[in-house]
Amino acid sequence: MTGGAHRWEKAAHAYATGEHKTGHELQLAVDFARPSGTERVLDIGTGAGHTALALAPKVARVVLTDPVDAMLATARRLFQDAGVRNAEFVAAAAERLPFPDASFDIVTTRLAAHHFDDVALAMREVARVLRPGGRFIFIDTLAPDDPPSATFQDEVESLRDPTHRRIYTQGEWIAWCEQAGFRVEKTEVVRKAHDFEPWLERGGEDALTMRRVRERFLTAPASAVRDLAIVVRDDVVLSFTDRKLVLAARR
């Protein structure tokens, strides 16, 4: 995510207070992790820290990583405000985790992998730092199976936020996990609605670029209007709905 630090510094507050703090996929992350209370947990690409915060009261220790200092500072404030103290905050990219082999019982990453520069390398790093038998909880956006819809979604995501790399289909995300040596045990797909303007503003782009994104939604291919349930009223984009994959895998 090189080059995106300033953008993420601007976005940190929006991520702390916006839709990332809630969602059925967040509850599923906790359910799929099945913590017993003794685990050491790593949350990769933590952003504002909501996933780690949801798990922290149920485990022994959480370690939050993000390559952007402003995101870690926002996560630290979130934990302080919640009075949760069993946490450590480490600046690190997903592809270069500064931890020994087999040092965590659970690794999570939620809505971060579409920003990774090298998904395959990041998955291998997860496998390296997770103990044998440990659990990996992965959540990210799913690309539609229809190629024009998938192309459209990647295009508008990249326009809105150039740190976006790519979203993959369910089969492709699972393949990345399996190639890193994981055994996928459970998956669930969650539909998530996004109010359009707050989603657009979180990208941190300038007014001209945001206008281009609005125009692109208004001229979206019919398959994308269907797959993303794009809602338009009086030439104003109101919302769209995408799909999140929640996946639990074993090392």
Domain ranges (residues) in the chain:
5-146+161-192+243-250
Residue 8 pLDDT = 52
pLDDT in single tens digits along all 251 residues of the chain: 444 555 555 555 555 455 455 578 999 999 999 999 999 999 999 999 999 999 999 999 999 999 999 999 999 999 999 999 999 999 999 999 999 999 999 999 999 999 999 999 999 999 999 999 999 999 999 999 999 999 999 999 999 999 999 999 999 999 999 999 999 999 999 999 999 999 999 888 999 999 999 999 999 999 999 999 999 999 999 999 999 999 999 99
Three-state SS for 81-142 is: HHCCCCEEEEECECCECCCCCCCEEEEEEECCHHHCCCHHHHHHHHHHHEEEEEEEEEEEEE
Residue 204 pLDDT = 85
Amino acid in the structure at residue 238: L
- Helix, coil or strand: residue 74: helix
Residue 11 pLDDT = 56
Burial class (CB in 10 A: 0-12, 13-18, 19+), 216: middle
Amino acid in the structure at residue 114: H
d(CA 108, CA 139): 8
Residues 125, 93: contact at Cβ < 8 Å? Answer: no
Residue 5 pLDDT = 55
- How many residues in total does the chain contain? 251
Question: What fold characterizes domain 5-146+161-192+243-250?
Answer: Rossmann fold (3.40.50)
